[in-house]
Amino acid sequence: MSGREEQLKRIIRDMLRPLKDIPLDVIIEAITEGRHTIWPYDGHAKEILHQVALQALENINREGIASRRPNEVGNYCEPHVRDAYHLVFAFCMERVDIVDGQGLFRARSCTIIDAHDLPCDVKYEFNSDNRRLYGNADRVVVYLMAS
């Protein structure tokens, strides 16, 4: 094996090691070469966010969401909320029935989280986990229980 091939193997091996706990705002600034910045939520429009979450809960629960795979239910929630940039609308979903082999889910609550500095792991994709997403109460912008 040539020195160049060894070097390439070393580079790829290093790339496969994720960078840990990098804040989302730092990632966005880095991958956009500074063209985009994520600012922390400043408290504005909280009542509007509350109304958006309330309407989303009502819309989702009107008929429920049918899905064969529980981990895909969140994808079906997305059309019910407006684009809020780095705010995460997190729905606590509950399977209430099974219809035609699919689970029928309804939302129990909605939490809006400010993800601007959410610790993420950077690899070929970046992600976080529920502990880090929900673990800092300062990130929660709105928490709303369904009626």
Pull the structure tokens for residue 51: 């109304």
CA distance 86 to 104: 28
CA distance 38 to 45: 17
Per residue in 9-28, pLDDT (tens digit) is 988 888 788 889 999 999 99
Rounded to an integer, the average pLDDT of 75-104 is: 90
Provide φ and ψ at 9, rounded to 5°: -60, -40
Per residue in 34-75, pLDDT (tens digit) is 999 889 999 989 999 999 999 999 999 999 999 999 889 989
